[in-house]
């Protein structure tokens, strides 16, 4: 279990430092981000409640590590999901949906699978399995958060849908094969 936690932390560090590798060769700096149309984002209401608390890396990290220490299936699901995400980031680079992302944001190209969606989905699965009432209370907030990150151009809608798919699929695989 300790080895898996160490690997989980190394994967987290890789995800955090990967923008350093792309900062010198910012391939999309002159690319028009509006060439990739996100039609789902356009049908969302103009104003969505500010859910930036759910976007907090420290809060998300503490909750994730705590749950991973308790539930080994969730830990393995996190590791598989994050490995797929790391590979996807290096294989597919979308231009950021936010026009001035290369100026205002430090992480510009980690889009293809939403890491926050992976984390909140696996946190929700853990709560659903162990604390059903808390999961029912938290579900609308998580759903609004997913809409928030799409509407505020932190991710394309496909990133969020892939995050949901990858995290849930990895959980089902880990649970079925008792990984």
Provide the 3-class DSSP secondary structure of residue 64: helix
For residue range 121-169, what is the model confidence (pLDDT) as tens digits? Answer: 999 999 999 999 999 999 999 999 999 888 888 888 999 999 999 999 9
Where exactly are the structural domains of the chain?
2-18+39-176
Q: Record the pTM.
A: 0.82
Q: Contact at 8 Å (CB) between 61 and 94?
A: no
For residue range 20-72, what is the model confidence (pLDDT) as tens digits? Answer: 555 444 444 444 545 577 778 878 877 777 777 777 777 888 888 889 889 99
Residue 17 Cα distances to 11, 20, 23, 110, angstroms: 10, 6, 11, 11
């Amino acid at each position: 279990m300790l080895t898996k936690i160490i690997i989980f932390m190394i994967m987290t560090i890789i995800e955090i430092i990967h923008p350093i590798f792309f900062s010198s060769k910012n391939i999309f700096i002159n690319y028009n981000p509006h060439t990739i149309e996100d039609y789902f984002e356009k049908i969302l209401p103009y104003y969505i409640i500010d859910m930036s608390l759910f976007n907090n890396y420290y809060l998300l990290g503490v909750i994730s590590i705590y749950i991973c220490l308790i539930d080994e299936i969730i830990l393995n699901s996190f590791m598989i999901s994050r490995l797929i995400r790391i590979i996807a980031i290096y294989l597919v680079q979308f231009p950021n949906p936010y026009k001035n992302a290369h100026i205002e944001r430090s992480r510009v190209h980690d889009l293809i699978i939403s890491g926050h969606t992976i984390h909140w989905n696996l946190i929700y699965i853990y709560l659903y399995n162990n604390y059903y009432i808390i999961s029912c209370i938290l579900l609308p907030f998580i759903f609004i958060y997913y809409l928030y990150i799409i509407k505020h151009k932190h991710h394309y809608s496909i990133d969020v849908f892939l995050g949901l798919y990858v995290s849930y699929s990895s959980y089902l695989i880990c649970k079925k094969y008792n990984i």
